[in-house]
């Protein structure tokens, strides 16, 4: 998968307990040919199968916090990965206590590949060739983190037509220009990268809040993200309940999106009391126009367009 392209699939969008409509929170992100799993609510592995996805390229699991609705799917998935043929190491990151929880849950099971269980500190959790993941402490009833996935910036596009016009032969010279080096042609002319390479493009930025009350640190971390997926457990009429339980309303999610000037907001982690979510969407859109509802097995495809714009497509998986 090339740079500037990501798939985000909602495996479950509910909260606390599952329902016939919504499974428990779990999101699969595909970026630079790798998968990241954000939270792993009970049954997430069934949702992966239902969605027709193959997760053998799973690079890491990132757990926001240790409430059961976000982690009870993990022991089962970790065992299944081995049975599906995984042999290389898998990194699993989350707050303090994750290691103890998983070791206890897996004590009588068999995970036949190396597992690296890491306890998150604020800051960079994962640093890969094409992207990094940063953990941001948020405000919930227990230690909890948001995750900010930041793709590294992409080189500008090489203009083949211009290169032909300038008489640059298909040779290592073209690669040198892409890498930012001026070159000298056999006839003595000098060509600079600016002559044939467009401006660098911004890598994608995807933010997942996990469970949180309104949180200034998250607003800052989500600044100008392409996609923010935010806790929207309640409607405003239940604002007090949202505060008491460490969650956000849809309107508060929209306020975060507006302050952070993100491109897209997807509401997430709905209370089971709402069978119809249109009220949450109306509340959010009054504050932030580009608010949308996540739903189980919805996939968002994000493509960098130009230097900093975004092209979006949506598909529903699992028939």
Taking CA atoms, 248 is separated from 37, 213, 268, in Å, by 22, 5, 10
Q: Smaller CB distance to Zn ion: residue 248 or 291?
A: 248
Residue 249 and residue 234 in contact, taking contact as beta carbons nearer than 8 Å: yes
Which residue number, 40 or 287, has a Cβ lying nearer to Zn ion? 40
- Residue 150 — φ and ψ, nearest 5°? -120, 110
Q: Which is nearer to Zn ion, 67 or 174 (CB)?
A: 67
Would you state the structure tokens that stand for residue 177, as one six-digit string? 């220009």
Smallest distance, Zn ion to C-beta of residue 263, A: 25
Of 39, 69, 211, 296, which residue is the catalytic one?
A: 69
Query: What are the CB-based long-range contacts (under 8 Å, 24+) for 187-196?
Result: 191/166, 195/162, 195/166, 196/158, 196/159, 196/162, 196/163, 196/166, 196/168
Distance CA 168, CA 173 (A): 8
Closer by beta carbon to Zn ion, 7 or else 231: 231
CB of 268 to Zn ion, least distance (A): 10
Closest CB to Zn ion among residues 9, 15: 15
Q: End-to-end CA distance of the chain: give it in Å, rounded.
A: 24
Shortest CB 273 distance to Zn ion, Å = 14
| DSSP states along 106-129 | HTTS---S-EEEEE--SEEEEE-S
Residue 7 designated active-site? no
Please state the closest distance from residue 116 (CB atom) to Zn ion, in A: 24
With CA atoms as reference, report the closest residue to 258 among 302, 280, 288.
288
Find the DSSP H helices in 167-266.
Answer: 172-178, 193-196, 216-221, 239-245, 250-260
CB of 179 to Zn ion, least distance (A): 45
Residue closer to Zn ion by CB (options 174, 269) is 269
Residues 6+ apart with CB under 8 A from 295: 10, 13, 22
Torsions phi, psi for 213 (to 5 deg): -80, 170
> Could you list the residues that contact Zn ion (CB under 5 A)?
15, 67, 69, 211
Task: Give least dist CB 16 to Zn ion, A.
Answer: 6
Catalytic residues: 69
């Amino acid at each position: 998968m090339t740079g500037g392209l990501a798939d985000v699939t909602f495996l479950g969008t509910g909260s606390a307990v599952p329902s016939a409509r919504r499974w428990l929170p779990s999101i699969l992100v595909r970026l630079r040919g790798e998968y990241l799993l954000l939270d792993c609510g009970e049954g997430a592995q069934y949702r992966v199968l239902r969605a027709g996805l193959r997760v053998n390229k799973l690079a890491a699991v990132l757990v926001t916090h240790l409430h059961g609705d976000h982690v009870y799917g993990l022991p089962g998935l970790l065992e299944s990965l081995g049975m599906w043929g995984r042999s290389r190491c898998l990194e699993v990151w989350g707050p303090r206590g994750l290691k103890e929880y998983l070791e206890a849950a897996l004590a009588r099971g068999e995970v036949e590949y190396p597992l690296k269980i890491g306890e998150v500190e604020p800051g960079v959790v994962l640093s890969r060739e094409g992207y990094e993941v940063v953990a941001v402490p948020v405000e919930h009833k227990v230690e909890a983190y948001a995750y900010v996935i930041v793709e590294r910036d992409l080189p500008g596009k090489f203009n083949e037509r211009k290169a032909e016009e300038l008489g640059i032969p298909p040779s290592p010279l073209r690669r040198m220009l892409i890498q930012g080096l001026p070159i000298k042609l056999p006839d003595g002319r000098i060509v600079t990268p600016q002559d044939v390479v467009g401006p660098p493009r911004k890598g994608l930025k995807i933010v997942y809040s996990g469970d949180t009350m309104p949180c200034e640190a998250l607003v800052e971390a989500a600044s100008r993200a392409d996609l923010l997926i935010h806790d929207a457990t309640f409607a405003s009429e239940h604002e007090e309940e949202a505060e008491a339980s460490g969650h956000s309303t849809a309107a508060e999610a929209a306020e975060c999106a507006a302050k952070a000037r993100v491109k897209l907001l997807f509401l997430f982690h709905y209370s089971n009391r709402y069978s119809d979510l249109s009220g949450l969407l109306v509340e959010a859109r009054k504050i932030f126009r580009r608010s949308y509802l996540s739903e189980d097995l919805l996939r968002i495809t994000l493509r960098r367009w130009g230097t900093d714009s975004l092209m979006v497509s949506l598909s529903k998986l699992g028939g």
